[in-house]
Amino acid sequence: MQGRDFLTLSDVSAKELREILDFSIKLKEIKYSEELKGKTLAMLFAKTSTRTRVSFETAMTQLNGHAINLNWNETNFVKGDLKDEAKILGLYCDAVMARVFTHDQILSIAEGCDKPVINGMDDLHHPCQALADLLTILETKGKFKGLKLGWVGDGTNVCNSLIQGAEMVGMKAVIATPKGYEPKVKTSATIIQDPKEAARGADILVTDTWISLGFEKEKEERMRVFPPYQLNTQLLALAKKDCIVLHCLPAQRGHEITSDVMDSPQSKIFQESENRLHTEKALLLKLI
């Protein structure tokens, strides 16, 4: 995988995906190493972030490399040609991680940059989040094959990446969204509107914010259509007894997920968040 981009989960094979996950588990035991000594990661953010920013920077620190945080608005990405600007980052740095507004933007950055480009989230994909989600499922269930993953709520970029991942590892994904909010990436996932059907017999239940970054102007409409999709104790009761709950965070407690579910023993949400660090270390070591 050395030198390659990671823009969507389909940039890796099913075998490579499993290798990244298995490597992440090994890295949890090691924590610090010298493997990226002298290497620099440019981190470009056009949108806000807590987890992506801190997990990637910490990953570089623990591997003895360095990360540069670039606020999009303080760079000439705002006024220059994306490919030219990205080319320069590649001349200085060993890899680029970028959170951008559109998938076309990450494609342009990858086209311009000769070093590995990692998608830190765009409007269609959040592949780094899907890696952490898959690792959390593997750690808690010990397998993927035959598991039912139910998604309730908005068919977000995280949903797109997770259902790509589910297909690659052999999980059955059942996605329940209001009409008009379906995931945009085509996979073998079953797309329905009934949240109870997604939850029934599920091994994993996942949700995401109803108002993703960039959709703030739609708040009123979204608050009208999404409440039947809330991940609460009644919905969780339809799933298997050992069903785990995931959410990429940040969560709006009391909206897409209730606090009693989020703080329940079935919630693996904070393990999932921590796993961003471990999967990103594995990814950086594979790509750089």
Q: Which residues are known catalytic residues?
A: 99, 126, 129, 208, 248, 276
Can residue 60 be called a binding residue for ligand CP (CB under 6 A)?
no
* Residue pair 130/138 in contact by the 8 Å Cβ criterion: no
Can residue 129 be called a binding residue for ligand CP (CB under 6 A)?
yes
- Residue 33, token pair as written in the block: 């190493």
Residue 231: DSSP 8-state: B
> From the CB of 105, what's the least distance to ligand CP, in Å?
17
Q: Please give the Cα distance from 157 to 183 (Å, whole number).
A: 8
Q: Which stretch binds ligand CP (CB under 6 A): 48-56, 67-75, 147-155, 226-234?
A: 48-56
- Please give the residues from 219 up to 258 whose contact with ligand CP meets the rule CB under 6 A: 248-249
Can residue 137 be called a binding residue for ligand CP (CB under 6 A)?
no
Q: Which stretch binds ligand CP (CB under 6 A): 21-29, 49-57, 59-67, 71-79?
A: 49-57
Can residue 169 be called a binding residue for ligand CP (CB under 6 A)?
no
CB nearer to ligand CP: pick between 112 and 231: 231
Helices (H), the chain: 14-30, 51-62, 82-92, 103-112, 127-141, 157-169, 195-199, 219-225, 233-236, 259-262, 269-287
Torsional class of 3: left (φ above 0), alpha (ψ -120 to 50), beta (otherwise): left
Can residue 50 be called a binding residue for ligand CP (CB under 6 A)?
yes
Can residue 71 be called a binding residue for ligand CP (CB under 6 A)?
no
Can residue 209 be called a binding residue for ligand CP (CB under 6 A)?
no
> From the CB of 57, what's the least distance to ligand CP, in Å?
11
Can residue 211 be called a binding residue for ligand CP (CB under 6 A)?
no
For residue 96, give the nearest of 80, 111, 74 by alpha carbon: 111
- Residue 2, token pair as written in the block: 């050395």
Which runs of E-coded beta strand occur in 20-147?
40-45, 66-71, 95-99, 117-119
Can residue 268 be called a binding residue for ligand CP (CB under 6 A)?
no
Site for ligand CP, rule CB under 6 A: 49-52, 121, 129, 248-249
